[in-house]
Chain A
Amino acid sequence: MIQELAPGDRVACTVGDTELTGTYITDRAGMRVVKLDSGYNIGVGPERVDLVEHIPLAPQPALEVEQDPNLPELAIVSTGGTIASRIDYRTGAVTSQFTAADILRAIPGLAEIARYRTHVLATILSENMTPALWQELARAVHDAIADGASGVIVTHGTDTMSHSAAALAFMLQTPVPVVFVGSQRSADRPSSDNVMNGISAAAAAVSDLGEVAVVMHEGPSDDRCALHRAARVRKLHTSRRDAFQSVESSPIGHVDYPARTVHLSRDAVRRGRRALALDDRLEPRCGLIQFYPGMEPALLDSFAGYKGLVVAGTGLGHVSTPCIERLGALVANGTAVVMTSQCLYGRVCDRVYDTGRDLLACGVIEGATMLPEVALVKLMCVLGRTRDPDEVRRLMQADLAGEVLGRTPHGL
Chain B
Amino acid sequence: MDSELTGLVAGLEIHQQLDTACKLFCGCPTRIRPVEEHDGEFFRYLRATASELGKIDRAAEEEMKQVRRFRYLAYDTTCLVENDDEPPSPLNDEALECTLQVAKTFGMTPIEQVHVMRKLVIDGSNTSGFQRTGLVAVGGTLPNGGRIESICLEEEAAQRVEEACFSLDRLGIPLVEITTSPCLRSPEEVQETAAYIGMVLRSTGKVKRGIGTIRQDLNVSIPEGARVEIKGVQELDLIAEVVRREVRRQQGLLAIRAELLSRGAGIDEEPVDVTGLFKNTGSAILKKAPVILGVRLRGFAGLVGQELQPGRRLGSELSDYAKRCGVGGIFHTDELPAYGVTGEEVTSLRGALEAQDDDCVVIVAADRKRAQCAVRQVVRRAQLALEGVPEETRKMLEGGSSAYMRPLPGAARMYPETDVLPVAITAERWAGVAVPELLTEKALRLKRESGLDPAVARQLAHSDRLPLYLRAVEAGVRPTLAARTALATLKELGRDGVPVERLEDEDVTAILTAVEEGRAAKEAVPDLLRAVAAGSSVKDALATLAPTVGADELEAIVARIVGERTEFVLERGMGALGPLMGLVMAEVRGSVDGKRLSELLRSALKHALE
Contact = CB atoms under 8 A, between A and B. Distances in A.
Interface of A: 15-18, 20, 28-29, 31, 33, 35-45, 60-61, 87-90, 92, 108, 184-192, 195-196, 219-223, 238-241, 258
Which of A45, A89, A189 has the most chain B CB within a 10 Å cutoff?
A189
B49 A189 contact: yes
A191 to B, nearest CB: 4
B54 A60 contact: yes
CB-based closest 10 A-B pairs: A190-B129, A43-B113, A16-B109, A39-B414, A89-B52, A18-B139, A41-B115, A40-B135, A39-B411, A221-B43
Nearest to B41: A221
Contacts of B247: none
B130 A189 contact: yes
Contacts of B135: 36, 38, 40, 42
Contact of A29 (B69, B113, B412): B113
25 contacts: A15-B138, A16-B108, A16-B138, A16-B139, A28-B422, A39-B119, A40-B115, A41-B115, A41-B414, A42-B113, A43-B422, A45-B112, A88-B52, A92-B416, A188-B49, A189-B49, A189-B84, A189-B129, A190-B122, A191-B44, A192-B49, A221-B44, A222-B43, A222-B45, A258-B45
Contact of B49 (A37, A38, A190): A190
Which of B51, B115, B414, B415 has the most chain A CB within a 10 Å cutoff?
B115
B84 A41 contact: no
Nearest to B46: A190
A195 B45 contact: yes
B207 interface: no
Nearest to B116: A41
B250 interface: no
Nearest to A108: B47
A223 B422 CA distance: 35
Nearest to B419: A186
Contacts of A20: 138
Contacts of B114: 42-43
Interface of B: 42-49, 51-52, 54, 60, 69, 80, 83-87, 108-109, 111-115, 117-120, 122, 127-130, 133-135, 138-139, 150, 152, 411-416, 418, 422, 424
Contacts of A39: 117, 119, 411-414
Contacts of A241: 85
Contacts of A15: 109, 111-112, 138-139
A267 to B, nearest CB: 29
A89 B416 contact: yes
Contact of B47 (A44, A45, A190): A190
A220 B85 CA distance: 8
Contacts of B48: 190
B56 to A, nearest CB: 11
A220 B120 CA distance: 22
A180 B53 CA distance: 30
A232 B398 CA distance: 58
A189 B118 contact: yes
A88 B69 CA distance: 30
B116 to A, nearest CB: 9
B113 A190 contact: no
Contacts of A184: 85
B109 A190 contact: no
Contacts of B83: 220
A15 B45 CA distance: 40
Nearest to A106: B49
B113 A31 contact: yes
Contact of A185 (B54, B84, B119): B84
B101 to A, nearest CB: 17
B377 to A, nearest CB: 22
Nearest to B84: A191
Contacts of A88: 52
Nearest to B129: A190
A37 B411 contact: yes
Contacts of B415: 87, 89, 188
A188 B118 CA distance: 11
Which of B52, B54, B119, B134 has the most chain A CB within a 10 Å cutoff?
B52
Given A42-B135, A221-B42, A18 B109 contact: yes
B130 to A, nearest CB: 7
Nearest to B52: A89
Nearest to A25: B416
Given A39-B117, A41-B416, A191-B129, A220 B111 contact: no
Contact of A42 (B87, B115, B413): B115
A60 B113 CA distance: 30
A189 B414 CA distance: 11
B288 to A, nearest CB: 27
A18 B138 contact: yes
Given A39-B119, A39-B411, A191 B113 contact: no
Contacts of A18: 109, 138-139
Contacts of A43: 111-115, 422, 424
Contacts of A108: 47
Contacts of A187: 49
B43 A195 contact: no
A41 B113 CA distance: 9
Which of A35, A40, A88, A238 has the most chain B CB within a 10 Å cutoff?
A40
Contacts of B119: 39
B111 A17 contact: no
Contacts of A35: 414
A287 to B, nearest CB: 31
Contact of A190 (B80, B130, B412, B418): B130
Contacts of A221: 42-44
Nearest to A94: B418
Contacts of A37: 411
A45 B109 CA distance: 14
A190 B120 contact: yes
A31 B113 CA distance: 8
Given A43-B113, A239-B87, 14 more contacts: A15-B111, A15-B112, A18-B109, A38-B414, A39-B119, A42-B112, A42-B115, A43-B112, A43-B114, A89-B52, A184-B85, A189-B130, A191-B128, A222-B45
B127 A240 contact: no
Contacts of B49: 187-190, 192
Which of A38, A41, A187, A192 has the most chain B CB within a 10 Å cutoff?
A41
A188 B413 CA distance: 12
Contacts of B411: 37-39
Contacts of B84: 185, 189, 191
A39 B134 CA distance: 10
A191 B127 contact: yes
Nearest to A188: B49
Contacts of B51: 89
B89 to A, nearest CB: 12
A329 to B, nearest CB: 44
Given A15-B138, A190-B128, A41 B44 contact: no
A97 to B, nearest CB: 12
A238 B80 CA distance: 11
A59 B117 CA distance: 25
A104 to B, nearest CB: 14
Nearest to A37: B411
Nearest to A88: B52
A220 B129 contact: no
Nearest to A36: B135
Contacts of A189: 49, 84, 118, 128-130
Given A185-B84, A191-B44, A44 B112 contact: yes
Contacts of A31: 112-113, 422, 424
Nearest to A20: B138
Contacts of B111: 15, 42-44
A192 B45 CA distance: 9
B111 to A, nearest CB: 5
Nearest to B139: A18
Contacts of A219: 42
A108 B48 CA distance: 11
Contacts of B424: 29, 31, 43
